[in-house]
């Protein structure tokens, strides 16, 4: 019933927008308008944005900032040729950064004002809706431009910070942190964006490394030196039989809601659904048994352990399955 009500509300909103607009709009355009109006936009304020003729000062009276190709970008540690790496892009100057960030914040300011205006008005004009779509598009374009110009920073810092887990996962964490920095950076403070972003990236990478260490303490991940099968004697070095029994009991609890694939992974990795002395497979062997990659097995395993974490918190040592 709640889903139906929500669906009807969306239809009513779209119908209302169509009635209030003088020009017929496509369903896709109406859906985008609805999305923009329902998600508040925030911007970094500055005196420049409030000046008279601010739009002309920020967009017209400045040089265009070139947008470089991102064909060089590859979030894998060994796939980027050195010839491409040396010529892939020029770093932005402080002046260019100020231009882009001022344009980004001005566009977000216009979207924010239009949101407040249109959400209060009973009738919405085509002019206001067109302006909303325009400034939303400008803000997205400027954000992408800034992010693209700083992708090399994420890769460079990721390579220095990489110690645990998948390198591509580390880069993904860095890209998320970079986008957050773009949204929060104040270009009027006088320092370069990289100075601000480096600190946030370091924090994100440290957090990622800490989480990887905790997961590695929770389960014994395999490497090339490990045998295909782990004996119970080998397992005792990292996880005792008593703890495995507690994990088995937690998995069997009805409220864990593990998927069949998650149960299979735990069965192959820890023998949790088998009889006496079951074989304990490495990630690679478990993947071959299930027809998936080693990384896929690892991800499924982590999700399954997270699901049973609450039940295990009072039974297992705090460093075994820390979140």
For 220, residues 6+ apart whose C-beta sits below 8 A from its C-beta are 230, 235, 238, 239
In the predicted structure, residue 160 carries a pLDDT above the cut 70: yes
Helix (H) or strand (E) holding 230: strand 229-230
The Cα 239–Cα 243 span in angstroms is 6
CATH number for the 229-312 domain, one of 1.10.287.3510, 1.10.10.10, 3.20.20.140, 3.40.50.2300?
1.10.10.10
- CA 110 to chain centroid, in Å, comes to 26
The Cα 205–Cα 64 span in angstroms is 33
Write the DSSP assignment of 257-317 as a string of letters.
---HHHHHHHHHHH-TTS-SS--EE-HHHHHHHHTS-HHHHHHHHHHHHHHTHHHHTTTS-
Residue where the block lists tokens 């109406």: 30
pLDDT digits (tens, 9 = 90+) for 115-129: 999 999 878 899 999
Q: What is the reported pLDDT for 311?
A: 53
What is the fold, at CATH topology level, of the domain defined by 10-214? Answer: 1.20.120
pLDDT digits (tens, 9 = 90+) for 137-155: 999 999 999 999 999 999 9
Each domain of the chain, given as residue ranges in start order, spans 10-214, 229-312
Q: What is the reported pLDDT for 243?
A: 61
Q: What is the reported pLDDT for 86?
A: 45
Name the range with the highest mean pLDDT among 12-16, 24-28, 302-306. Answer: 24-28
Mean pLDDT of 297-311: 75
Q: What is the reported pLDDT for 274?
A: 53
Q: What is the reported pLDDT for 122?
A: 79
* Percent share of the chain, pLDDT over 90: 37
C-alpha to C-alpha distances, 56 to 62, 134, 190, 232, nearest whole angstrom = 9, 16, 22, 72
- Give me 148's structure tokens: 């693209």
Regarding predicted confidence, which is higher, 256 or 257?
Answer: 257
- Give me 247's structure tokens: 């994990």
Q: What is the reported pLDDT for 27?
A: 92
pTM of the model: 0.60
Q: Is residue 181 a contact partner of residue 169, using CB atoms and an 8 Å limit?
A: no
The Cα 150–Cα 65 span in angstroms is 14
């Amino acid at each position: 019933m709640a889903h139906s009500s929500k669906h009807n509300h969306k239809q009513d909103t779209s119908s209302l927008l169509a009635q209030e607009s003088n020009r017929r709009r496509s369903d896709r355009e109406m859906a985008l308008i609805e999305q923009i109006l329902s998600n508040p936009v925030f911007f970094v304020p500055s005196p420049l944005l409030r000046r008279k003729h601010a739009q002309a000062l920020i967009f017209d009276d400045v040089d265009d900032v070139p947008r470089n190709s991102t064909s060089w970008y590859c979030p894998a540690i060994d796939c980027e040729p050195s010839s491409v790496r040396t010529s892939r892009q020029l770093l932005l100057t402080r002046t260019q950064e100020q231009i882009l960030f001022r344009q980004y914040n001005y566009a977000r300011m216009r979207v924010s004002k239009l949101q407040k205006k249109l959400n209060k008005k009973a009738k919405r004009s085509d002019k206001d809706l067109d302006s909303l779509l325009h400034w939303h598009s400008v803000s997205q374009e400027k954000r992408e431009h800034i992010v693209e110009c700083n992708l090399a920073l994420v890769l460079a810092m990721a390579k220095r910070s990489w110690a645990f887990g998948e390198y591509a996962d580390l880069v993904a964490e860095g890209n998320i942190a970079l986008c957050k920095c773009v949204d929060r950076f104040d270009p009027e403070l006088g320092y370069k964006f990289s100075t601000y972003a480096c600190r946030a990236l370091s924090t994100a990478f440290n957090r990622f490394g800490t989480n990887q260490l905790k997961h590695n303490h929770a389960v014994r991940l395999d490497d090339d030196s490990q045998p295909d099968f782990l004996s119970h004697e080998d397992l005792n070095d990292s996880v005792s039989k008593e703890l495995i029994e507690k994990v088995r009991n937690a998995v069997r609890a009805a409220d864990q809601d593990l998927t069949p694939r998650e149960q299979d992974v735990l069965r192959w990795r820890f023998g949790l659904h088998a009889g006496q002395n079951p074989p304990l497979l490495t990630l690679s062997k478990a993947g071959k048994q299930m027809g998936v990659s080693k990384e896929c097995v690892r991800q499924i395993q982590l999700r399954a352990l997270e699901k049973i974490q609450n039940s295990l918190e009072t039974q297992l040592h705090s460093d075994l399955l820390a979140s």
